[in-house]
Every structure is written in structure tokens, then in C-alpha cells.
């Protein structure tokens, strides 16, 4: 009887031991699978939402410097060739220089045009929102100085200013964009002009002096409707990150 009880307890202990081992293996497998699924979920979430790829894109930015070539259409309309150059000094200041030169004659009709000279102007550009504006564009005010000589005869009466006439004044204008390469600039200047000139008339193949005058004038001394070309384009393109 005692032997039977001992054998029974040994068999029971062996069964319990096997059951415990099976349970341990099952638990380890469950926890291993759960852990691997968790890592997979974390990796997927990290890849989808945490990594932001660097995207290279082309963005437009204003140039730090702008160089403009221009011509005054008002002079062009009366056959007076002219050219101007304007350079931005920074975001709100620019410096421009203009030059005119013409030498036309028709002696049979007593028509003669000779003029040359130019002006220098310092402009201050009014840019209320610099981030959305282009260099040398919009409203501007300025101060300018002019030098000019001329000899004009039209219909038998001539005016000769062979000595430099000079003028200084203040200007206001607006430069209107017409695409990425061009502007139309409207400018009016008011100032003081001083210079001597002679009045003459042609007679028997000669030019007869009539009188000498000293001109002192306060009023409009500068007018522009200029076609402006942005050399190299209005914008420069640079790479950026987002």
C-alpha cells in the first residue's frame, strides 16, 4: 500500500512538472511574438511620421543687387538717343546716371539739333513690405543734378547754349513691372535751372547773332517715361530646404 502511494505521488509530480514546462514555453512564445509585433509597430510609426525627408526645391528670392539698363522714351520720340544705368546700393537706395547725345541737321530747311549732357540721381525706394517686393520697383523719391549743352534751330530761329547749363531738383516717380525682365518708369522732377544761351537766325549762309540771355528757371526740369531692363532678370533662383 505504501509503495502504491509513493508511486502515485511520483507520477503526479511528473505530470505537474511537464504541465509547468509546457505553460512556460507557451508564455515565452506569446511574449516573444507580442514584443516583436510591438517593435514592428514602433518602426512603422517612426518611419511614417517621425522622419521628415529633406526636399530640395527651387524657390524665388530677390537679388541682393540689381543692375538696370534703360532708355527714356520721351527723348527717343524726338530722335535723341539716350541711355541710362541704375544700380541698387541696398534694399532701399539706388544710384542712376543718364546720358543723351544727338547731332542732326538739315540745312535746306534750317533744322538743326545738337545736344549732349546727362544727369545723376540718388533714389530712395518706398517699400512698405520688403519681403513681397522687388528691388528697384514701386514708388520712389530722389535728388538729382543735371548738365546740358544744346544748339537747336527750327524754322529759321536758333538757340545756342554752348556753355553748360545746370540744374538740381527733387523727383518723384513710380516704376511699374511688366514681366520678369522689364519695367516702365514714370518720373517727374522739379528744380532750379541756370544757364546762358544765345538767340540767332540764319542769313545768306551764315548765322547771325541776335541776343544773349541768362535763363533762371524754377519748375519742371526732368521728365521720364523710361523702358527699364533688368540685366540678368528680376529674380535669382536658389535651392532651399523644407
Question: What kind and span of H or E run contains 28?
Answer: helix 2-45
CA distance 55 to 159: 68
What confidence category does residue 132 fall into, taking pLDDT thresholds of 50, 70 and 90?
Answer: low
CA distance 6 to 165: 136
Tens of pLDDT along 61-97? 445 678 999 999 999 999 899 999 999 998 899 999 9
Total Cβ atoms within 10 A of residue 125: 22
Q: Is-contact 199 211, C-beta < 8 A?
A: yes
For residue 87, report the phi and psi dihedrals to the nearest 5 degrees: -130, 135
Residues 6 or more apart whose CB falls under 8 angstroms from that of 241 comprise 54, 55, 56
Which of these ranges, 7-11, 196-200, 207-211, has the smallest mean pLDDT?
7-11
For residue 29, report the phi and psi dihedrals to the nearest 5 degrees: -65, -40
Cα separations (Å) of 21 from 16, 25, 33, 194?
9, 6, 18, 115
Which of these ranges, 4-13, 144-153, 180-189, has the smallest mean pLDDT?
4-13
CA distance 161 to 120: 20
Cell numbers 517686393 correspond to what residue?
A: 133
Amino acid at each position: 500500500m505504501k509503495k502504491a502511494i509513493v508511486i502515485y505521488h511520483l507520477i503526479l509530480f511528473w505530470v505537474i512538472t511537464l504541465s509547468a514546462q509546457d505553460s512556460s514555453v507557451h508564455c515565452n512564445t506569446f511574449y516573444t511574438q507580442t514584443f516583436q509585433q510591438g517593435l514592428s509597430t514602433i518602426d512603422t510609426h517612426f518611419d511614417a511620421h517621425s522622419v521628415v525627408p529633406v526636399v530640395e526645391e527651387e524657390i524665388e528670392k530677390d537679388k541682393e543687387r540689381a543692375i538696370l539698363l534703360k532708355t527714356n522714351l520721351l527723348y527717343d520720340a524726338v530722335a535723341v538717343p539716350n541711355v541710362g544705368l541704375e544700380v541698387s546700393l541696398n534694399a532701399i537706395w539706388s544710384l542712376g546716371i543718364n546720358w543723351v547725345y544727338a547731332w542732326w541737321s538739315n540745312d535746306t530747311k534750317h533744322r538743326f539739333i545738337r545736344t549732349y549732357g546727362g544727369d545723376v540721381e540718388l533714389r530712395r525706394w518706398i517699400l512698405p513690405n520688403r519681403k513681397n517686393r522687388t528691388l528697384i520697383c514701386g514708388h520712389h523719391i530722389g535728388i538729382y543734378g543735371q548738365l546740358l549743352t544744346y544748339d537747336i534751330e527750327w524754322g529759321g530761329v536758333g538757340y545756342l547754349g554752348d556753355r553748360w547749363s545746370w540744374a538740381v531738383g527733387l523727383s518723384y516717380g513710380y516704376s511699374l513691372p511688366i514681366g520678369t525682365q522689364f519695367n516702365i518708369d514714370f518720373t517727374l522732377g522739379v528744380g532750379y535751372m541756370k544757364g546762358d544761351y544765345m538767340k540767332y537766325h540764319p542769313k545768306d549762309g551764315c548765322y547771325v547773332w541776335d541776343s544773349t540771355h541768362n535763363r533762371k528757371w524754377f519748375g519742371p526740369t526732368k521728365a521720364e517715361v523710361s523702358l527699364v531692363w533688368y540685366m540678368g532678370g528680376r529674380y535669382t533662383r536658389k535651392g532651399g530646404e523644407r
